[in-house]
A and B are shown apart, each in its own frame.
Chain A
């Protein structure tokens, strides 16, 4: 019966926890806005793309390929490859969505981005939270993403040379800062080493963003396969 305040509490907590990462999303978005303006996208086309696709790196690749006549099949395939990780991200969220209705899942999954997913999972490891925390983060990230891209699109002249200010690095920096919340101890060393090596190797060998899926799956496989060793019974959580 007191689920209503709990929901809004979680929504607010998720929003607040994502404010930090939203700063980098906004900066990153302003770069996308700049590029999109140069490719001739109108502000409302970009806004609709933000609201409906809502995936940073995929949108960057879309804008990169945005030359008339639009290669729709190639663009769609590229988006599929880059966003393949959302299959895994979606699957990893299933403990959080436990006990929720199908409609709830369909509604809440749209606003899942790398950033609010990472923050939600990190928090979920420590305390009990609901899907409203995830949604709050999604709203925060979406707001920052739209503001940043619109700002970049409108005031293109402000950041003439984003690379000069290291803004292109903000993506790496924010994920580096986040990844340590997933470190659970020395038993993660092997999976993480495998993930890093496979990611670097497949990035060199394969086109597109396959390396994200390859590295992630290889690292997690390393963790799972090690479990077959004799007398590893205590390792289950």
Chain B
């Protein structure tokens, strides 16, 4: 196989897998119960997945990263402005690195 063929195979396989997961999540959910404990489970998922995405990355970012995460969280709670909160977090990390922390 040529390099170009391999490139399209790799991209095609990744695309199929990703789309397959997206659509089967939705289609399977429609066949699952919508009350009681299962509903509580599903309701809790968005927050807990998002948190699981963040926490290890924030922990790995070191003290400046912790400070930036804290500031971003506080800013988001106080103002509800996602963009401002993001800028605050990124600016703290950039400043910290500029000072060699």
Contacts and interface: CB of A to CB of B under 8 A. Distances in A.
A58 to B, nearest CB: 7
Given A90-B23, A90-B24, A175 B54 contact: yes
B21 A80 contact: yes
A166 B97 contact: yes
The range of chain A's interface size is 35 or more
Interface string B57-101: 111010001001100110111000111011011111110111000
A167 interface: yes
Contacts of B98: 164
A75 interface: yes
A215 B33 CA distance: 22
A85 interface: yes
A182 B47 contact: yes
A25 B73 CA distance: 19
A182 B45 CA distance: 10
B45 A76 contact: no
A63 to B, nearest CB: 11
Interface residues of B, number: 73
A176 B48 contact: no
Nearest to B98: A164
A62 B14 contact: yes
Contacts of B21: 80, 83-84, 86-87, 90
A227 B36 contact: yes
A235 B27 CA distance: 27
Nearest to A196: B55
A48 B10 CA distance: 12
Contacts of A29: none
A76 B50 contact: no
Interface string B1-45: 001001101111111011101111111111010011111111111
Given A178-B50, A196-B51, A211-B52, A86 B22 contact: yes
Given A68-B3, A88-B49, A215-B49, A53 B14 contact: yes
25 contacts: A20-B86, A45-B7, A49-B14, A68-B3, A70-B7, A70-B10, A75-B10, A85-B49, A87-B25, A87-B28, A93-B29, A94-B30, A109-B22, A166-B96, A167-B90, A173-B85, A175-B53, A176-B58, A176-B72, A191-B47, A195-B55, A196-B51, A212-B53, A216-B45, A227-B36
The 9 closest A-B pairs by CB, nearest first: A90-B25, A215-B52, A219-B48, A173-B89, A166-B93, A182-B47, A216-B49, A91-B29, A166-B94
Interface of A: 20-21, 23-24, 41, 45, 48-49, 52-55, 58, 62, 68-70, 72, 75-76, 79-80, 83-94, 97, 105-106, 109-110, 112, 114, 117-118, 121, 163-167, 169-180, 182-184, 188, 191-192, 194-196, 198-200, 203, 211-225, 227-228, 235-237
